[in-house]
A and B are shown apart, each in its own frame.
Chain A
Amino acid sequence: MKKVLFVGNSHLGAIRRGWSETPAAWDGWDAEFFALPSTHFLSAELHSDGLFGVGHLGMSAKQAKKWANRINEKTDVSYQNADLIVHVGANLMANRMFPILSTYSIDGFLKNSGTKRMSMEAFKAFCTSVAQSNTEFGGWKTTGIPQIIAPRPRHIETALDELERFVSSDHLRALCKQSDLLARLFDLFEDIYIQQAQTSGWTYVRQPENTITSLGLTEPKYVSGAKILLGDDTAKSDFGHMNANYGGEMLNAIHAAVVARIGISSVTAA
């Protein structure tokens, strides 16, 4: 048997529930899960003894331990004996470009209502700098164990009804609702992360295409029946946490990457 260790934030819930339906592709793999709420997961550390878990320092360490115990019944998980580590729920940070999208026309990418112009080269450079400074990526320490990043799912399409909360520009809101602008923005960021992964020695797995609508967001069916980490139903206004079906789709995509890109082709061969 091989062992896959999934670590992540609240979005790990969907993966765990997807795993419980045991996708056939993962036959021969044992899985272990370790989750923390997003804010505490961000400050989680890989300690020198090979244990990954809550940081020992800082004001939030006590709170983090409390959450870790509540969710996992432990505060750390060992990287040792894992054949694969999957980090789940990283935020692309593409929304950080909304002020630019609200203000500028970008060559070949976006025609805006105002007069301001930005070159595609500058826009890509800015997206790249945001991606490179994203502490949810690339902060993983090299362990010699293959590591995969599985991003948090894009919001479901019905989130566009609530777009006023996030985007003040009427024009940009209309573009998000009526064009593939968000799809292209997310694709651009994913391309950057894939490139970044190649130079950093980890593997980025895109959100499966069949879970994404033409507007670039997640099919609403994947939110139905979703539960938060501790098992309660998600709130009505929660557009970001997905159900077991989504988890299953993501697990298939991760497994395909394990075979094609990392080269772990068969459990029995191990």
Chain B
Amino acid sequence: MHSPYTDLEERAFWRSAVGARSALDTGDLYRAKFSISRRAKIATAGSCFAQHVGRSLRSAGLNVLDEEPVPGSIPDSEAQRYGYRLYSARYGNIYTTRQLLQLHKEAYGEISPESAVWEKDSRFYDAMRPSVEPNGLKTPELVAQHRQAHLAAVRDVYETADVVVFTFGLTEAWEHTKSKTVYPTAPGTIAGSYDANTFNFVNLDYNAIMRDFVEFRKRIKAIKKSVKFVITVSPVPLTATATGQHVEVATAYSKSVLRAVCGSLYERFSDVDYFPSYEIITSTNNRGAYFENNKRSVSTKGVQTAMGMFLGAHGFAGEPAQKSPAASSVPVRIAPPISAESNDVVCEDELLEAFSK
């Protein structure tokens, strides 16, 4: 008797692949769909877990783009406080695919976000990346000028990248009701103020997220046909939900939708690979060992495990990091390896904690 399961590898069966696996044994969860050259220019973006991804890739000496670089002599903690050295440009966290697509459209002048400057204590913030200037800027005009300069750097990222690594973070977002502009944080969290007549909550569904990413991919491929994508789902649960559901239920929904989109993208496009950081971190096999005490933040060990698997699958594990070119006296566009001093991630949504009773 022959069954379609007869010739499958052990990794296809729960009993051998998970049940018999010792705790913290990472198993064979990931096989790279395509190879990435050490010279490939990698762009990173996404929710705050993506900061870990970028940091790990840089530490492994990969060619992670940085279009808004600061010299290696600036400590990570200080650079990151101002949004530098987090991603390939200083866009801060991009939690949703809607925000990802919106940034692309804005970078090429197709849209102009509504309510793009928020105010707090007579200082002015870029509503699309409010955390990059922790104390805001002097005038709204200055914010607009900085944004235009930033958008030029964003275009450089799009036009240079060989590989785009994007971490899907959230389905929930706040948008400007009339224009549908989405923001990375709710108005009033870092700056600005919430007005129910101007802004509304949106919980993006599978179709919307799928549509946004497919559109984003199409636009990137129009610039450079050979670009490949590595997508992941952030294993970090929601800090808070505005759905009215229990936050754990809302997290399950959100991650499930994102995971489903990633699965579809993986099946549909040969140039899209899915890296299972979500599964590696949240596997029941780990018994929660890869989370910090708050059961939300991913521990250093968890990040090392997940990214170790990624690097290993691409043949980069154990290779020495390249010397930081940013320490030289000339401007560079490749991010320096990040020192061990700063493993904190910058998460705007953690500010929501401050609003919990």
Q: Which residues of A contact B (CB under 8 A)?
A: 93, 95-100, 102-103, 105, 107, 115-117, 119, 121-122, 125-126, 129-130, 133, 166-169
Q: Is B146 an interface residue (CB 8 A)?
A: yes
Q: Select one of A93, A95, A100, A121 contacting B133, CB under 8 A.
A: A121
B interface bracket (residues with beta carbon within 8 Å of A)? 20 to 34
Report A-chain residues with C-beta under 8 Å of the C-beta of B332: 99
In whole Å, how far is A66's beta carbon from the nearest beta carbon of chain B?
A: 30
Report B-chain residues with C-beta under 8 Å of the C-beta of A93: 73
Report A-chain residues with C-beta under 8 Å of the C-beta of B70: 99-100, 126
CB <8 Å contact, A98 and B329? yes
Q: Which residues of B contact A (CB under 8 A)?
A: 68-71, 73-75, 78-79, 81-82, 84, 133, 135, 137-138, 142, 145-146, 148-150, 152-153, 326, 328-332
In whole Å, how far is A193's beta carbon from the nearest beta carbon of chain B?
A: 16
Report B-chain residues with C-beta under 8 Å of the C-beta of A168: 329-331
CB <8 Å contact, B74 and A129? yes
The distance in angstroms between the C-alpha atoms of A23 and B148, with both chains bound, is: 57
Chain B contact surface mostly: loop
Report A-chain residues with C-beta under 8 Å of the C-beta of B73: 93, 96, 130, 133
Q: Which residue of A is nearest B73, CB measured?
A: A96
A-B contacts, 28 listed (Cβ < 8 Å): A95-B329, A96-B71, A96-B73, A98-B329, A99-B70, A99-B326, A99-B328, A99-B329, A99-B330, A99-B332, A105-B149, A107-B142, A115-B152, A116-B149, A116-B153, A119-B133, A119-B142, A119-B146, A121-B135, A122-B84, A126-B70, A126-B78, A126-B79, A129-B74, A129-B75, A167-B329, A168-B329, A168-B330
Report A-chain residues with C-beta under 8 Å of the C-beta of B150: 117
Given contacts A99-B330, A116-B153, A126-B70, contact A133 B75 (CB under 8 A): yes
CB <8 Å contact, B331 and A130? no
Report B-chain residues with C-beta under 8 Å of the C-beta of A97: 71
Q: A102-B331, A117-B146, A167-B329 are in contact. List 8 more A-B contacts (CB 8 A).
A: A99-B71, A99-B328, A119-B137, A121-B82, A121-B135, A130-B74, A166-B329, A169-B331
The distance in angstroms between the C-alpha atoms of A133 and B71, with both chains bound, is: 14
Report A-chain residues with C-beta under 8 Å of the C-beta of B331: 99, 102-103, 168-169
The distance in angstroms between the C-alpha atoms of A126 and B146, with both chains bound, is: 18
In whole Å, how far is A181's beta carbon from the nearest beta carbon of chain B?
A: 16
Q: Which residue of A is nearest B150, CB measured?
A: A117
In whole Å, how far is A131's beta carbon from the nearest beta carbon of chain B?
A: 11
Q: Which residue of A is nearest B147, CB measured?
A: A117
In whole Å, how far is B181's beta carbon from the nearest beta carbon of chain A?
A: 22
Report B-chain residues with C-beta under 8 Å of the C-beta of A107: 137-138, 142
Q: Which 6 A-B pairs have the closest CB atoms?
A: A117-B149, A129-B78, A122-B82, A103-B331, A115-B152, A99-B71
CB <8 Å contact, B329 and A125? no
Report A-chain residues with C-beta under 8 Å of the C-beta of B142: 107, 119
In whole Å, how far is B157's beta carbon from the nearest beta carbon of chain A?
A: 13
CB <8 Å contact, A125 and B71? no
Report A-chain residues with C-beta under 8 Å of the C-beta of B81: 125
In whole Å, how far is A94's beta carbon from the nearest beta carbon of chain B?
A: 11
Report B-chain residues with C-beta under 8 Å of the C-beta of A167: 329
Report A-chain residues with C-beta under 8 Å of the C-beta of B329: 95, 98-99, 166-168
Report A-chain residues with C-beta under 8 Å of the C-beta of B78: 125-126, 129
Q: Which residue of A is nearest B146, CB measured?
A: A117
Q: Which residue of A is nearest B333, CB measured?
A: A103
Report A-chain residues with C-beta under 8 Å of the C-beta of B84: 122
Q: Which residue of B is nearest A122, CB measured?
A: B82
In whole Å, how far is A127's beta carbon from the nearest beta carbon of chain B?
A: 9
The distance in angstroms between the C-alpha atoms of A93 and B73, with both chains bound, is: 10
Report B-chain residues with C-beta under 8 Å of the C-beta of A166: 329
CB <8 Å contact, A100 and B71? yes
In whole Å, how far is B172's beta carbon from the nearest beta carbon of chain A?
A: 30
CB <8 Å contact, B75 and A103? no
In whole Å, how far is A186's beta carbon from the nearest beta carbon of chain B?
A: 17
The distance in angstroms between the C-alpha atoms of A189 and B332, with both chains bound, is: 24
Given contacts A99-B330, A102-B331, A129-B78, contact A116 B68 (CB under 8 A): yes
Report B-chain residues with C-beta under 8 Å of the C-beta of A96: 71, 73
The distance in angstroms between the C-alpha atoms of A244 and B145, with both chains bound, is: 50
Q: Which residue of A is nearest B68, CB measured?
A: A116
In whole Å, how far is A178's beta carbon from the nearest beta carbon of chain B?
A: 20
The distance in angstroms between the C-alpha atoms of A96 and B68, with both chains bound, is: 17
The distance in angstroms between the C-alpha atoms of A98 and B328, with both chains bound, is: 10
Report B-chain residues with C-beta under 8 Å of the C-beta of A169: 331
Report A-chain residues with C-beta under 8 Å of the C-beta of B68: 116
Q: Which residue of B is nearest A97, CB measured?
A: B71
The distance in angstroms between the C-alpha atoms of A95 and B328, with both chains bound, is: 11
The distance in angstroms between the C-alpha atoms of A216 and B34, with both chains bound, is: 55
In whole Å, how far is A182's beta carbon from the nearest beta carbon of chain B?
A: 15
Report B-chain residues with C-beta under 8 Å of the C-beta of A95: 329
The distance in angstroms between the C-alpha atoms of A168 and B330, with both chains bound, is: 6
Report A-chain residues with C-beta under 8 Å of the C-beta of B79: 126
Q: Which residue of A is nearest B82, CB measured?
A: A122
Q: Which residue of B is nearest A99, CB measured?
A: B71
CB <8 Å contact, A125 and B69? no
Report B-chain residues with C-beta under 8 Å of the C-beta of A125: 78, 81-82
In whole Å, how far is B178's beta carbon from the nearest beta carbon of chain A?
A: 29
The distance in angstroms between the C-alpha atoms of A160 and B356, with both chains bound, is: 58
Report B-chain residues with C-beta under 8 Å of the C-beta of A119: 82, 133, 137, 142, 146
The distance in angstroms between the C-alpha atoms of A129 and B82, with both chains bound, is: 13
The distance in angstroms between the C-alpha atoms of A162 and B19, with both chains bound, is: 69
Report A-chain residues with C-beta under 8 Å of the C-beta of B69: 99, 103
In whole Å, how far is B85's beta carbon from the nearest beta carbon of chain A?
A: 11
Q: Which residue of B is nearest A103, CB measured?
A: B331
